[in-house]
Amino acid sequence: MTLEEACAADAADPLRACRDRFALPEGVIYLDGNSLGALPAATPARQADLVERQWRDRLIRGWNEGWIEAPRRVGAKIAPLIGAAPHEVIAADSTSANLFKLIVAVLQAGERRTVLSEAGNFPTDLHVAEGAVRCVPGARLEIVTRESIAASIGADTALVVLTHVHYKTAQRYDMKSITAAALAAGAMILWDLSHSAGAVAVDLNSADADLAVGCGYKYLNGGPGAPAWLFVAERHQDRLANPLSGWMGHAQPFAFTDAYEPAPGIDRWLCGTPPVLALSALEAGLATFDGVSMPALEAKGARLFDLFAARAAAPGLECVTPADPAARGSHISFRHPHAWPINNALIEAGVIGDFRAPDILRFGLTPLYTGYEDVWRATEILGEVLATERWRESRFAERSRVT
């Protein structure tokens, strides 16, 4: 594809208008929306209204003017992106905290004692699972390779915890078949959709999935540290109890009773007072998906990927993301022994991707606002940085705290 053809592909792109829903900085090709989504154009005015009108003028009356319903309202807006019913999703806490709540809840609801996960899963998923099993007598965490997950689901497996799209390689599990294997063995499954929701078409209910969690600040564009969300299939909602039994998950928080009584349905997964400012920004982030079909979004992501992959062939650069679009998410990753300084040199040249230790260069393709021209130009700069070995300049070796 030539630059002219890339520009023509943008002009013909049915999702092109979605790019105007974002305030993208000049002079930057942003390929890290899988880590922190771009700022939606509507967010600043919406946040100003929340602070300067709702908070200043309405004060505590705001709780009865939409604030208290925000976790449910935002959850219902996430639902269509992941194939869930509106009453099966709630925005709450962080992905890490939601993993903890659901893992402990499953262990406490049954006799099985093993939680199964994948070696190399996102660190917090493994760290939280480790802490969660420590809270339940007899429980244990079993970590196996990706290839042996299905074969390792056994008679004692209570829960399989997997990340649908891998944060490093973008490898995607077949949700339907792995879920079916877990259910057939009498286990439950919890999908972490942090790199899937808003990136690829997901259908939790048609896969019969039990539980899911995900981030608000990646593809959902909710802003740094945005609230996360969780999904509990309707059939489990009255059976599972939130171990963080806080007052906001109580059936009647404002009855102020001593004893905890869980709210019916998805509301019981709340713990403390919802972060209204942050939920408002997440709601603006979700509005960037208005009218967008997830299969169309996924199809564009796949085309952006193919363009990137075709133009990023250079010595030493090894693509670790599967070629099959159904087997990958919406980012493209490469192994390179000098990934760290190369990423820094790219950032200086205006191409923002990221680095994942020890040797991964990662580029997020966010179909709402990434264009074919962006990918064309970014790969041109990548080729130039590699060919000139500009990344060898000493300033690119410096380490930073967040990568």
Ligand X SMILES: *Cc1c(COP(=O)(O)O)cnc(C)c1O
Active site residues: 122, 192, 217-218, 362
Strands 331-335 and 318-319, how do they pair?
Answer: antiparallel
Task: Establish if 356 lies at the interface with ligand X (CB under 6 A).
Answer: no
Q: Is 196 left (phi over 0), alpha (psi -120 to 50) or beta?
A: alpha
When the beta carbons of 94 and 117 are compared against ligand X, the nearer one is 94
Shortest distance (Å) from residue 50 CB to ligand X: 22
Shortest distance (Å) from residue 122 CB to ligand X: 3
Residues 209-248 that bind ligand X (CB under 6 A): 215, 228
List the beta strands (DSSP E) in 127-214.
Answer: 140-144, 157-163, 188-192, 211-214
Residues 174-203 that bind ligand X (CB under 6 A): 192, 194-195
273 is in an annotated binding site: yes
Shortest distance (Å) from residue 330 CB to ligand X: 13
When the beta carbons of 197 and 385 are compared against ligand X, the nearer one is 197
When the beta carbons of 13 and 125 are compared against ligand X, the nearer one is 125
Choice from 22, 67, 100, 167 touching ligand X (CB under 6 A): 167
Distance of CA 272 to the CA centre of its chain: 22
Shortest distance (Å) from residue 272 CB to ligand X: 16
95 is in an annotated binding site: yes
Q: How distant, in Å, are the alpha carbons of 156, 211, 239, 240 from that of 235?
A: 22, 11, 8, 10
Residues 98-157 that bind ligand X (CB under 6 A): 122, 124-125
Choice from 54, 157, 163, 221 touching ligand X (CB under 6 A): 163
Distance of CA 305 to the CA centre of its chain: 18
125 is in an annotated binding site: yes
Query: Position of tokens 């005015």?
Result: 45
The Cα–Cα gap between 277 and 77 comes to: 17
3-state helix, strand, coil in the chain (%, to 5): 45, 15, 40
366 is in an annotated binding site: no
For residue 166, with 0-12 CB atoms within 10 Å meaning exposed, 13-18 middle and 19 or more buried, which class applies? buried
Q: Would you list which residues are annotated within the binding site for pyridoxal 5'-phosphate?
A: 95-96, 122-125, 163, 192, 195, 217, 247, 273
Contact set with ligand X (CB under 6 A):
94-96, 122, 124-125, 163, 167, 192, 194-195, 215, 228
